Chains A and B, each alone.
Chain A
Amino acid sequence: MVLRRFLPALPPLLAFAGILAIWELLSLYFGLDGLPPPSVALRQVPVILTDPQSLFDIVDSLRRMAIGIVLALVFAIPVGLWMGRSRFAAAFFNPLLSVIYPVPKAALMPIIMLWLGVGDASKILVIFLGVTLPLIYHSYQGSRAVEEKLLWSAAAMGMQPPARLARIVLPAALPEILVGCRTALVLGLITMVTSEMIARQTGIGNLVFQSLEMGIYDTVYAMIVIIGALGFILDVLFERLRGWLVGWAEPAQSIIVGST
């Protein structure tokens, strides 16, 4: 009974243990300063997490990431849904998007800093840019795939086109939109860290690079582990939210997390 409940947790635990073992072996074998064994590096994790300054940095990063993602959601979902329902909108935005998509958004950071300085605004804008495109893309796909007869059924009940976008297209496309959101969460985390490495002030990325410059490698690795754990926790929380929001959907929505 107890065994059966914990059995699903076994493969991921094994995977983590495997990574730690390989890391430990590699660092013992090479004996490099820049590659401390996990037994040393991981000891820094509780130290970082109990240090008020580091905690503040982490929370500050997450705050910027949240603002950037929320802004992107507010912008990207309506645009994507509109593109999916209007041939004009699709023809207008599609070429723009395919030009902008492959540009690495973090590489724009130095330019954006020229306009907005090194503060929150630049970083939030970069995060916004980093997550907007996959959100638009998935909202667009979801909106385009909405079964026509759902819209017809609503129209027969007297629902007008603008209301249909919010009350039929949005919920019908939600499973696909949430696939985009999951990608956005990962990309947001990546862009957040990158932006802080370029515009150093506060934040997780800054912590990593400061420690790196000062040669405190165990802290660097501990931070990388913390970033990974953050991604993992956000993903688990997001999956909860997703199950709650689109439990009604047919399964078979395969999730592919895009790359930068």
Chain B
Amino acid sequence: MSQAELTSPRIAAEERNALRQSSMISIERVSKYFDTRRDKRHLALSEITLPVTRGEFVSILGPSGCGKSTLLYIVGGFVQPSSGQVLVNDRPVEGPGPDRGPVFQEFALFPWKTVLGNVTYGLDQRGVPKAEAVARARALLAMVSLSGYENFYPKELSGGMKQRVAIARTLAYKPNILLMDEPFGALDAQTRTRLQNDLLKIWDEDRKTVLFVTHSVEEAVFLSDRVVMMSRSPGRIQDIIDIDLPRPRDRASLLLDRRYQDYVVNIERMMDAQTGDHS
């Protein structure tokens, strides 16, 4: 039955309460102002309402500066909304917690820790025995093709490698919700494709709830159950598109799939219509 809601069209306001029960994340009328120098308030997010079902993969698309990162920070509990609230598991978010694992756009690796030290950090923090933590970290590093780099420091890695370490670090402590901010942005096309597949495989295993920010329409369509399109100034939800494509998804056959192509073309058209300027 949650499958029905999952693939249901855009959620109408009156359905919201009914949905809340099965919502893993419920973003409710969240607005965010930033105080700027010229004693003006900058409205970064305006009245964002978005319920996300347990196990749902939701991508957020939108021009640069439309508030995608800010929205993730609010769900993560790192930033307080100016108004509105976020419920996770029916409880209001009051701060960060290990149920929500962020992957930041800027990687935010601990520079004084080696690659291995970074990936095991959250596990040590959660009291996982050393040997087990190291084993899990090594397996994740193998998955992101970084075996052999265990003892490198972040400064010795390329941008794409740092990004992969950041992903492994967050996956390591197994949060129920993943908040991923352009996690594949710094990767070459080949690695990107591979990691998309790996992410889907991991997601298929235990169906984490994922909020995934990206600039790539193809990526959003390929990965998601729903694509949220945001517009800029103030950042608000412009449209939500259900991606009704079968899973498990295979990239090669999807590329040939007419429905996939339609989704991509349509979303791109809608985004072009929204902004005259390019970001």
- B residues bordering A, Cβ < 8 Å? 73, 76-78, 95-98, 100-102, 104, 106, 108, 110-113, 121-122, 125-126, 153-155, 169-170, 173, 175
Contacts and interface: CB of A to CB of B under 8 A. Distances in A.
Nearest to B175: A156
A152 B108 contact: yes
In the complex, which of the residues A156, A158, A247, A249 has the most CB atoms of chain B within 10 Å of its own CB atom? A156
B76 A153 contact: no
A158 B106 contact: no
Nearest 9 pairs between A and B by C-beta?
A149-B108, A155-B96, A157-B122, A157-B125, A248-B153, A171-B112, A158-B98, A152-B78, A156-B96
Contacts of A155: 77-78, 95-96
A159 B125 CA distance: 7
A250 B76 contact: no
B111 A158 contact: no
Nearest to A155: B96
A156 B110 contact: no
Nearest to A158: B98
B121 A157 contact: yes
A236 interface: no
A147 interface: yes
B183 to A, nearest CB: 14
A156 B76 contact: yes
Interface of A: 147, 149-150, 152-159, 168, 171-172, 174, 246-250
A174 B112 contact: yes
Contacts of A249: 111-112, 155
Nearest to A249: B111
Given A149-B106, A168-B110, A171-B112, A158 B97 contact: yes
Nearest to B117: A248
A157 B76 contact: no
Contacts of A246: 112
Nearest to A152: B78
In the complex, which of the residues B98, B110, B153 has the most CB atoms of chain A within 10 Å of its own CB atom? B110
Contacts of B154: 248
Given A155-B78, A157-B122, A158-B126, A150 B110 contact: yes
A248 B98 contact: no
A48 to B, nearest CB: 42
Nearest to A159: B125
Nearest to A168: B110
B180 to A, nearest CB: 13
B110 to A, nearest CB: 6
Contacts of B122: 156-157
A154 B153 CA distance: 18
B175 to A, nearest CB: 8
Contacts of B77: 155
Given A147-B106, A249-B155, A157 B78 contact: no
A159 B122 CA distance: 9
B22 to A, nearest CB: 24
A248 B169 CA distance: 18
A226 B65 CA distance: 60
B126 A156 contact: no
A48 B100 CA distance: 66
B108 A172 contact: no
A147 B108 contact: yes
A80 B204 CA distance: 47
A235 to B, nearest CB: 23
Given A150-B108, A171-B110, A249-B155, 9 more contacts: A153-B104, A156-B98, A157-B126, A158-B97, A158-B98, A172-B111, A248-B111, A248-B113, A248-B154
